[in-house]
Structure 1
């Protein structure tokens, strides 16, 4: 399994796949094994209640199928009490022997309606961010000195960035449909962690195809290409590899997350770049 960091302190490339259960279980299990065989480092699960099994049990099952890291991409902080999320994350670290990564954020757009449907409180954005802080603090207490569960934070605004700079191991930036390359570059360069933090990018579109559950259903690949958005990569693996290398050199992204439908298409990219 690839270490995400080079001994020199330079970040190595690694690649994750968001692979919810959208088929029968035998087909999903085989997909998990193929993802591992193709050199991907991490299998990730979204946090969308009701339409699939909960992330925790699903990731525990995936970790038993292949030598992969597993993680949430990402837990929405208002869906669970902070201590409950921390307990689940620590438990997954123990059960996977250190292969679990806690991804957490304040919730995707529209989560307020979902919370109301579930009969849960609808906290203000500042309260949701405070829940993230509480979760990470509780996780560190549960981990103790013997365990360190890596934390990935999805961030956008300055307060979220400041918290991520303090507590996160990996940071992914929540991009909007209007963010072009220049805006994304500015957003990342305005992030100033005081320690070594891995920078990740969520890539929802490859060529003319949009990954399910990773972008709004009305996402237009042609518009993304026209505006030079970083939410899209070329369909050709060689061109995609060159673009990924450019993004590391110019911006600092080294951890790229794709949808499961693209895992086979981008396997040559992973074979060429993973761990380098």
Structure 2
């Protein structure tokens, strides 16, 4: 493994989680504004019953703009590997290579809430591995759908190092900057490090974290789940996180896209 100081400095890119929470014309206008603001990727959460399914929604978004699109993230607790891989490969083909498959274990208990059988942590990891393997078979030698894997524990992280192109850590409110830096040092330099940011200023974005999240405690702990709402301060923090921790891909909620657009315009691609 590589020491963090030796990591390759990757160009910044920025993604936006933009589920449909309005009428369709309003959502389409929001997608176009996101594309015009320098963001690279339009992302959808995997929360059945809350919004339309990921596949058709991302296909619609991809037809509106030239943005990359992706799942943030497929929940292995809800999905069978073969069918998920088929959908991911299909999106990669239909968007002409603009799709990236985000996948993770899924929120604890989400499958039971939806009336499905409970899925153990070990089985979730198995499904994640099998999904990526099936995706590679579907892609064949002429296509490589990028895989972003959301990881929490060491076993999931080891799996991601083996099969993913990008890794994002599932951070808890009490995970501090030093702890995350230690985890980042164990990631090889050929893997992109992504950051899921749930809070900007004192606001929590829906789909990104529970609304009961204690934002004051996060600020006090210098949590990486938080960014400042001032664009200049946010730009400085993006640069600090890349320099000190190696993060170059940042994913925020759509409600914050316009607020942080000046920082994104300044840094995207640099």
TM bucket (normalised to shorter chain) is over 0.9
1:240 maps onto 2:234 in alignment: yes
User: Where does residue 134 of structure 2 map in the other structure?
Assistant: 138
Change (3 A) 1:165 1:67: same
Instruction: Say yes or no: does 1:171 pair with 2:167.
Output: yes
Name the structure 2 match of 1:192. Answer: 187
Unpaired runs of at least 5, structure 1: 1-8
Alignment match, 2:53: 54
2: CA distance, partners of 1:238 / 1:38: 16
Hey, what does 1:37 align to over in structure 2? 36
Contact 2:13 2:268 (8 Å CA) reproduced: yes
Task: Select which of 216, 219, 231 maps to 1:225.
Answer: 219
Contact 2:104–2:149 (CA under 8 A) maintained in structure 1? yes
4+ long deviations beyond 3 Å: none
Aligned-residue RMSD, C-alpha: 1.3
Q: Deviations over 1:177-232 (max 9, x none)?
A: 1112122222222x233x61100000111111111110111112211111111110
Q: How does 1:244-259 map to 2 (within 5 A)?
A: 244-259=238-253
TM-score by length of 1: 0.93
Structure 2: gaps of 5 or more residues: 1-7
Give the whole-Å Cα distance in 1 for the aligned partners of 2:18 and 2:250: 14
Aligned length: 264
Residue 201 (structure 1) aligns with: 195
Please give the per-residue CA displacement for 1:75-94, whole angstroms capped at 9, x wherever unaligned.
00121210000000000000
Question: Given the two structures, how large is their TM-score scaled by the length of structure 2?
Answer: 0.95
Which structure shows the bigger proportion of residues in helix conformation?
2
Native 8 Å contact 2:9 2:246 kept in 1: no
CA positional deviation for 1:270: 0.6
Structure 2 matches for 1:1-276, cutoff 5 A? 10-111=9-110, 115-189=111-185, 191-193=186-188, 196-276=190-270
Secondary structure of the structure 2 residue equivalent to 1:186: helix
Q: CA deviation at 1:117?
A: 4.1
Q: Partners in 1 of 2:113 and 2:191 — Cα distance?
A: 36
* Farther off after superposition, 58-67 or 179-188: 179-188
Q: Kindly provide the CA deviation profile for residues 142-168 of structure 1, in whole angstroms up to 9, marking residues without a partner as x.
A: 000111000000001111111111110
